[in-house]
Amino acid sequence: MKKLYPGIAPSILAADFSHLADNVQSMIDHRISMIHFDIMDGHFVPNLSFGPALVQSLSSQFSILTDVHLMIEKPALYVDAFIRAGADVITFHVETVSEEEARTLISHLRSLNVQVGISLKPNTPVETLLPFLPLVDLVLVMSVEPGFGGQSFITSALDKIKFFFQYRQDHQLHYFIEVDGGIDSKTGPQCQLAGVDILVAGSFLFQKTDIKHRLTLLGHSIS
């Protein structure tokens, strides 16, 4: 299992699905080794994306950290399929589980040596995550309403990032902070200043001709 680290996690939701391997390879060519997979079920979010088969096809072909973001109802029913598909990190939404279900899911994933993330939508208060912060490896702050790439950044995400950054310090916790949605050359640096560790970016990076420049704008070092 590949361990989480601070950096850029391109979201393949914005990739050219007819050239997916090439799109991932071009990221790897620029020293990216973490790929974010946005899984959507048409229930928790009003969109469908892809499932374990696609994750499997890419995680078996490339040596990447496979960062799986479940925007789905009943995540416990599907996590084992994503683990078999090669997920190194599985993030579920706090809005989709009870507190007890969340605790059970977190310990199940930990028992299988998978890194666990928990995510919250823009309108979900940070307090909702407090019981789980000592238990998870990753907090994913949504800076758009989940469901679609290419949306505008919601600035209240910056306050959430600052909160989780300070809370981690005050309580000597170890989770990484990731942000997802509307990340570009302006919002990315703002999130990094606020204390984020991992930037998820889709439309700012994929299907562009100047990937190297764009990655540099997000603070990625190519050399």
The set of catalytic residues is 38, 180
Residue 146 interacts with ligand DX5 (CB under 6 A): yes or no: yes
Q: What is the DSSP letter of 41?
A: B
Report in angstroms how near the CB of residue 127 gets to Zn ion at its nearest.
Answer: 22
**Residue of 67, 137, 180, 184 interacting with Zn ion (CB under 5 A):** 180
Nearest to 108 by CA among 131, 82, 85: 82
Backbone phi and psi for residue 38, each to the nearest 5 degrees, phi listed first: -90, 110
**Residue of 12, 34, 38, 199 interacting with Zn ion (CB under 5 A):** 38
b/e burial code for range 129-163 (CB count within 10 A of at least 16 → b): beebbeebbbbbbbbbebbbbeeebbeebbebbbb
Site string for ligand DX5, 1-20 (x = CB under 6 A): ----------x-xx------
Residue 62 and residue 88 in contact, taking contact as beta carbons nearer than 8 Å: no
# binding residues, ligand DX5 (CB under 6 A): 21
Nearest to 195 by CA among 149, 153, 157, 162: 162
Residue 90 interacts with ligand DX5 (CB under 6 A): yes or no: no
**Residue of 55, 69, 72, 164 interacting with Zn ion (CB under 5 A):** 69
Q: Which one, 14 or 118, has the nearer CB to ligand DX5?
A: 14
Nearest to 194 by CA among 148, 149, 139: 139
Residue 67 interacts with Zn ion (CB under 5 A): yes or no: no
Residue 193 and residue 199 in contact, taking contact as beta carbons nearer than 8 Å: no
**What is each CA distance from 29 to 37, 212, 223, in whole angstroms?**
19, 10, 11
Q: Which of residues 21-60 bind ligand DX5 (CB under 6 A)?
A: 38
Q: Record the tokens describing residue 163, joined without a space.
A: 């909160």
Residue 75 interacts with ligand DX5 (CB under 6 A): yes or no: no
**Environment class of 195 (CB within 10 Å of its CB; exposed 0-12, middle 13-18, buried 19+):** middle
Q: Which one, 38 or 197, has the nearer CB to ligand DX5?
A: 38
Residue 185 interacts with ligand DX5 (CB under 6 A): yes or no: no
Residue 157 interacts with ligand DX5 (CB under 6 A): yes or no: no
Q: Give the binding range for Zn ion (CB under 5 A) out of 47-55, 175-183, 187-195, 205-213.
A: 175-183
Residue 180 interacts with ligand DX5 (CB under 6 A): yes or no: yes
Report the interface residues with ligand DX5, using CB under 6 A: 11, 13-14, 38, 71, 144, 146-151, 180-183, 200-204
Report the interface residues with Zn ion, using CB under 5 A: 38, 69, 180
